Amino acid sequence: MKEQKSFVDNSKGCLFLVPTPIGNLDDMTFRAVKVLKEVDLVAAEDTRNTKNLLNHFEITTDLISFHEHNTASRIPELIEKMEQGTNIAQVSDAGTPSISDPGKELVKAAIKADIAVVPLPGATASTTALIASGIAPQPFYFYGFLPRKGKERTEALVDLANRMETTIIYESPYRVLKTLDDLAADFGEQRQITLARELTKLHEAFFRGSIQEAIDYYTENDPKGEFVLVIAGKPQEQVEAMTDEQIIAAVNALIEAGNKPNKAIKEIASQNDLKKQVVYNLYHNIEGKN
């Protein structure tokens, strides 16, 4: 094992990960502009969209498409270029690449090929919403988009509802109300939530209140624009009040979601501030009766 240094003078190119604004073009950093000007190629989620951004900053670097539908075919091509000395910057449509956006597979492939991966800090909707939410900023758990339906969605909601950390979710305006309804069922109507809408844009707005108040508000007022949901962690008193059956159900939900029993037990114990042995005994005793 060794450290991979980002800035070494070798014959290979680098992979720069470059955040772009989530609405307000003034949030582009000086360094992002400099890197996009200096690299040989920009790998973009949507080349037309990124072309507009580059034009705005008078950047003339060539573009190549890199999105979720051509990831597998494009990666070997990009890796080969970097192996031969080409410096590439990867950008997504908005915000930080790899954060609910394409990128992670390319990063993995670059690391495997011993190509330096150079991340730039910059805009992301998640922490921008978090810091203005009025809800505890740490510890926080960034989830991204919930699964759309079925068992996966149910299990994700159960898992998130039991977390003591603040949770951050991305959601489209068309699904905000449905998601709020599901949150009310699993997190409870009174759990505190902040909906951050159209961050950094003209119509930026925050709704802060209980989940039920948010449902009432967005039933009356059509949810428009982009949303981040910041949800308060499970209150300590509810954690303490969790019944044995609820603990077992929470362990089962994690197992059904693909976790090994021991990992699920450890996770639920840690979320509920219980000794692992207590949850282990509880789970296995009940299981033994079935």
Q: Provide the CB-side half-sphere exposure for 240 (13 A, CA).
A: 3
167 binds ligand SAM (CB under 6 A): no
Q: For ligand SAM, which residue has the nearest CB?
A: 95
Residue 197 tokens read as 């809408």
The residues with which 230 forms a beta bridge, in sequence order, are 168, 194
Min dist. Cβ of residue 211 to ligand SAM (A): 17
125 binds ligand SAM (CB under 6 A): yes
Residue closer to ligand SAM, measured from CB, 107 or 239: 107
Write out the binding residues for ligand SAM, residues 29-88 only, by CB under 6 A: none
Give the x-and-dash track for 11-30 against ligand SAM (CB under 6 A). Answer: -----------xx-------
Min dist. Cβ of residue 237 to ligand SAM (A): 31
115-131 residues labelled b (16+ CB within 10 A) or e (exposed): bbbbebebbbbbbbbbe
Min dist. Cβ of residue 36 to ligand SAM (A): 16
DSSP characters for 210-267?
Answer: EHHHHHHHHHHS---S-EEEEEPPPPHHHHHT--HHHHHHHHHHHHHTT--HHHHHHH
Q: Provide the CB-side half-sphere exposure for 184 (13 A, CA).
A: 15
Residue from 198, 246, 249, 266 that binds ligand SAM (CB under 6 A)? 198
Q: Nearest 5 degrees, angle CA 196-CA 121-CA 130?
A: 25
Stretch that binds ligand SAM, among 92-100, 158-166, 244-252, 254-262 (CB under 6 A): 92-100
Interface with ligand SAM (CB under 6 A): 22-23, 92, 94-96, 99-101, 124-126, 170-172, 196, 198-201, 226-228
